[in-house]
Amino acid sequence: MEKGIQMVVFDWAGTTVDYGSSAPAEVFARIFRSEGIHFTRNEINGPMGMEKKAHIRALLSLETGSKQWEEIHGTKWTEEDVERLYEKFEEELFRVVAEYSTPIPGVVETVNELRRQGIKIGSTTGYNAQMMKQVLPKALQEGYQADCVVTPDVTGMGRPTPFMLFECMRQLKVYPANRVVKVGDTVVDMQEGKNAGACSIGILTGSNLLGLTQEEYEAMEPEELKRRKMETKKKYLEAGADMVIDSITELPAAIAKLNQRM
């Protein structure tokens, strides 16, 4: 058994591509608006990273979601409603997701550096396999590719369960789990890593949890941005993160620290 970290498992939107995880957030907002229901960006971002049907259930289960649904439809939401909303979500996201597949600044260089160190690159996501068929070629054109990509429909269970991460370990023949680092931008990313027995690292810049577009990030006053990053770091740590880094470019140095501890 080789010593040190052998594999990094990245999340997709908000971690390696799609700054701020804008595609799913926008599509969730659209499909609920079509039902006359309005959620804030923070409410939509709360369950981000989960399998998308589970995300819809989580939004409908919010007090604001349940109340709006009953006011508009005169009854409580059902699993049939979840299925119908998911079909709308899937259709709309499938149409636009490739447009949101540009790697976040620093991703390509960081992944190349990790590969030079002999580290394998896995990926888990809340998107299904059909959606990823749209995403992967576009990301590859921009210079980013993982060694394996696992979706919830492959394992039958999404985050925060560890089974997608375990499937990455199986495909890339890496074990035990303490040789793996999960890197993501949501609470359930951190939980996925910890539930697998891996190390979890949260990223601030470009993350869904920080909840800013690139334009908002660049225009924000430094003190306000610092405050928001501190709040986001706290959420990561409360979710079990072992480390929180500002940018994905800091990941090689973070892994070096983990290797020293090991």
18, 52, 189, 242: which is the annotated catalytic residue? Answer: 52
d(CA 51, CA 6): 26
d(CA 25, CA 12): 14
CA distances to 8, 142, 217 from 109, in Å: 15, 12, 21
d(CA 174, CA 7): 7
11, 18, 189, 242: which is the annotated catalytic residue? Answer: 11
Residues 117, 95 contacting (CB under 8 angstroms):
no
Residue 185: active-site member: no
Residue 11: active-site member: yes
Q: Which of 95, 112, 94 lies closest to 103 in space, CA to CA?
A: 112
Q: Which of 202, 204, 187, 214 lies closest to 100 in space, CA to CA?
A: 214
Write out the catalytic residue numbers: 11, 52
